[in-house]
Amino acid sequence: EMEETMTELEKFDHVQVMVKQRENQRIKRDLEHCKAELNSTSPAPALSPGTYELVYHNYVTTAKALKYLTYIFASIFLGYCGLGRMVNVSGPITYSLTVYGTSYSFGAWGRDANPAPGDENKYWLVVLSSSNAFGNFIRQYSSLSTIILGIGPTDTYISSSNPTTNTIQGPNMVMYANALYYNCYNTYYVCQFNLTTRSVSTVALPSDTGYNSKFPFAHLGTTYSYTDMDFATDESGVYAIYATTSNFGNVIISKIETSNPPVLNQTWFTSLHKKTVTNTFMVCGVLYATRYLDKEIEEIFYSYNTKTNEERYDLRIHLKKMQTNIKYINYDPRDHLLYVYMDAYIVTYEIMF
């Protein structure tokens, strides 16, 4: 048994090395690009002493203006984080059951998108242990290897009862700055559970927001119960994705300020009906939505850019599935991976820009 454990550890350590190598290659390309730009920059013009100060001032002003315009261009066309458009998804990179085996088909997992110093390598896992719909604790592991092997977990309970007031409803949630964001049990409220203080703060979505499977994720063959609210992280923070009757069941995106208590900030309205979607996630201020094609393929077909309000329904980016149903998906801005919970399996994919 010990030999098998060591073999598994070596296997998943190798996966981590591959991920780091890809990240290093991306950084190297970016550095080479910057170096090429610096080498191609024209030198300042030769000036006579009498005109140097004025012309040099104009030269610097023009350079700053060009730099600002470049930033604006990148923000509009590439996304404010400068990664460019998502063009493909590769993988799966990680594919494994957890310590629970196939017991819980609904759940979520990932990393804190804005971790405290010393917590950068931690992974979290939540299983909906009551009726495949409700959860009351967060399990944390020190590394990818330990979450896969189920070694040395730490459990933090929201409540001893499940379900009850302010416990987790549905599989959609995210971790940000050591707080879990999720749909509060049996309400249209967003819960923020602070893992340090073990306290819950809430913020209300519009009163006609769907919950208790009024506007769930779905496809023709299946409705995913209690998925009315989704949550996402990207380079700028946390979002809630939901639908209301006043917006005809179409997807709404609201930025959540991660204060205590949390506060709703800017909101965007889309034409995408929520029941035609199987899941959503955010990358660089752009919402992406998936739909079920068949047992082997899920398609990223839709995007909404919160910077330009541009909607697209023609993306056709395919995810190769290892199980039939994707129950949870979220983007980690730290490693550019998609974290997926797929019929009790934890899976990762790499986004290609």
pLDDT of residue 123: 99
pLDDT at residue 191 in the model? 99
Query: Residue 84: its pLDDT value, please?
Result: 80
pLDDT of 81 = 73
Give 210-233 pLDDT, tens digit per residue: 999 999 999 998 999 999 999 999
344 CB-near residues (< 8 Å, 6+ apart): 97, 98, 100, 101, 102, 103, 104, 105, 107, 323
Which pLDDT belongs to residue 318? 98
Q: Give the global pTM.
A: 0.81
Residue 83: the pLDDT is 79
Query: For residue 145, what are its two tokens?
Result: 């290897």
- Run means of pLDDT, 10 residues per run, the chain, 353 residues: 52 51 58 57 48 43 47 45 87 97 98 97 98 98 98 98 98 99 99 98 99 97 97 98 99 98 98 99 98 98 98 98 98 98 98 94
Name the residue ranges covered by the structural domains of the chain. 88-352
pLDDT (0 to 100) of residue 11: 52
pLDDT in tens, 149-158: 999 999 999 9
pLDDT at 45: 46
**Which architecture does CATH list for 88-352?**
5 Propeller (2.115)
SS3 string, the chain, reads: CHHHHHHHHHHHHHHHHHHHHHHHHHHHHHHHHHHHHHHHCCCCCCCCCCCHHHHHHHHHHHHHHHHHHHHHHHHHHCCCCCCCCCCEEEEEEEEEEECCECCCCCEEEECCCCCCCCCCCCEEEEECCECCCEECEEEEECCHHHHHHCCCCEEEECCCCCCCCCCEEEEEEEEECCEEEEEECCCCEEEEEECCCCEEEEEECCCCECCCCCCCCEECCEECCCCCCEEEEECCEEEEEEEECCCCCEEEEEEEECCCCCEEEEEEEEEEEHHHCCEEEEECCEEEEEEECCCCEEEEEEEEECCCCCEECCCCEEEECCCCCCCEEEEECCCCEEEEEECCEEEEEEEEC
What per-residue confidence (pLDDT) applies to 55? 41
